[in-house]
Homo-oligomer: A and B are copies of this chain.
Amino acid sequence: MTAIPELTVRALAGLPMFATGMSIAQAICTALAAGGDALRDGDICVIAQKIVSKSEGRTVELADLMPGEEALDLAKRTGREAAMAQAILDESAEIMRPHPAAIIARHRTGHVLANAGIDASNVEGGDAGTVLLWPVDPDASARAIRADLRAASGAEVAVVIADSMGRAWRIGTVGTAIGCAGLTVLEDRRGRAVDLFGRTLQATVIAVADSVAAMAALAMGEGDEGAPVALVRGAGRWTSAEDGPGAASGLRPVEQDMFR
């Protein structure tokens, strides 16, 4: 048995409120230094989608949107504001289930989630009709933050951008990787690993990045207790010098979707 070292995860204290143009990497290094700590090779920084979107200025004023016919229809079917329906359509490749409880959509990045990931909480002026979209390209955002962290710290770390996602058949959300750099997204053990009785494991692909995001989201919390960055240590077996293919590589291709 190969011993896996203890994994630890903790939310970072002392991060600032983020606004457009602010460096997340710099804030992480500063917050760690204030606690007498610093990034080390093999660390994973899990970053909430919200602050990445904020630092990239991905806010939209609903009042600026002109709802089209499709948005008016979607709004009517789901009891939403027409402008919000338009925002969801603008961010979606496909509306899968237009339900009043949640509009399940395939986001233009390929991730399937409620309301195309659009959020009105924790946005300044949110009640007045400001919503926050996902980063334009979450994997590119992860790569950029990773490069910034390397430049600022000298350490070879991995970056995961995480959002809380619901699941088709289970209540509640779990942290999920929407952007990833420097971390194994999928560990494919098919035909490689043998089980305890020497047979080849038939179908085991472990969603490493999603599991890391779930762990981190638990430490990060939500709401006014929420810390937007968590540091995972002890997972260096899954980190790499290369950025890797990103969280998009963990998406089931549309043609294999049994639940479209």
Contacts and interface: CB of A to CB of B under 8 A. Distances in A.
Contacts of A10: 4-7
Interface string A94-137: 00010101101010000110000000111110110000000000
Interface string A206-222: 11101110110111111
Interface residues of A, number: 82
B214 A210 contact: yes
Residue of A168, A172, A259 contacting most chain B CB atoms (<10 Å): A172
Contacts of A215: 7, 9, 211, 214-215, 218
Interface of A: 1-11, 13, 17, 97, 99, 101-102, 104, 106, 111-112, 120-124, 126-127, 164, 167-176, 185-187, 189, 193-197, 199, 201-208, 210-212, 214-215, 217-227, 235, 249-252, 256-259
Given A169-B259, A196-B223, A196-B226, 6 more contacts: A8-B8, A168-B252, A168-B259, A170-B207, A171-B250, A172-B208
